[in-house]
Amino acid sequence: MNLSIYERRRLTVLAAVSTIIIFLVVTLGGNSSPQETASPSSIAVTTTSTPLKSSDAVGPLAEDASKPVNLDGPLSLQPNGQSRIAYPGPGEMKRVNAKASYRTFPSYNSTICYSAAAPLGAELTVVNLNNGKSVKCDNVFAILLPAGVDIVLHSPLFLRIANLVDAPLPVTVSW
């Protein structure tokens, strides 16, 4: 009997699913051996409680035992519509850590770069995190970014902060 590859796959999946279902039925509900179980009449329940005296109470119950414990405590202030809002410090919103690479842009100004994280037309400052060297460039949409790279610098600019063999380079981009 010659089965196609699809029919063989269907049979394999059917066998695997059937095996899993049979295994679950046997382990979870197929306990056929008789075991001694305690009958409800042989279990005795006893409870003992001692009333709490007000002199024994600790915490909120010491003052008034009629109040629920979870409702005691300081009253919250009524909302007045004012709240404190935390704003980032100067320059914090205009800086990102990135990976930089290079590309020679044909017949363009030598001070261009492209980063999708920064606004187009902004002057970017790129700082090499390995040696502290920095360079300034103008963000223009020139090419698509390669995978794993956040900013592409023109080759002469990249050479000012690192060697070409160092790419991709960890940098900080600010604008």
**pLDDT score recorded for residue 17:** 93
CA separation for the pair 36, 132 (Å, rounded)? 77
Q: What is the pLDDT of residues 57-70, one digit of tens each?
A: 555 445 555 655 56
**pLDDT score recorded for residue 170:** 93
Say if 133 falls within a structural domain.
yes
Say if 165 falls within a structural domain.
yes
CA separation for the pair 102, 149 (Å, rounded)? 10
What is the CATH classification number for the domain harbouring 139? 2.40.40.10
- What range does the domain containing 153 cover? 95-174
Say if 68 falls within a structural domain.
no
Say if 51 falls within a structural domain.
no
Say if 16 falls within a structural domain.
no
Task: Check pLDDT > 70 for residue 105.
Answer: yes
Say if 138 falls within a structural domain.
yes
Per-residue b/e over 57-91, b at no fewer than 16 CB within 10 Å? eeeebeeeeeeeeeeeeeeeeeeeeeeeeeeeeee
Query: Count of residues for the chain?
Result: 175
Say if 67 falls within a structural domain.
no
Higher pLDDT, 113 or 36: 113
Q: What is the pLDDT of residues 10-61, one digit of tens each?
A: 999 999 999 999 988 888 875 555 555 555 555 555 666 555 554 445 554 4
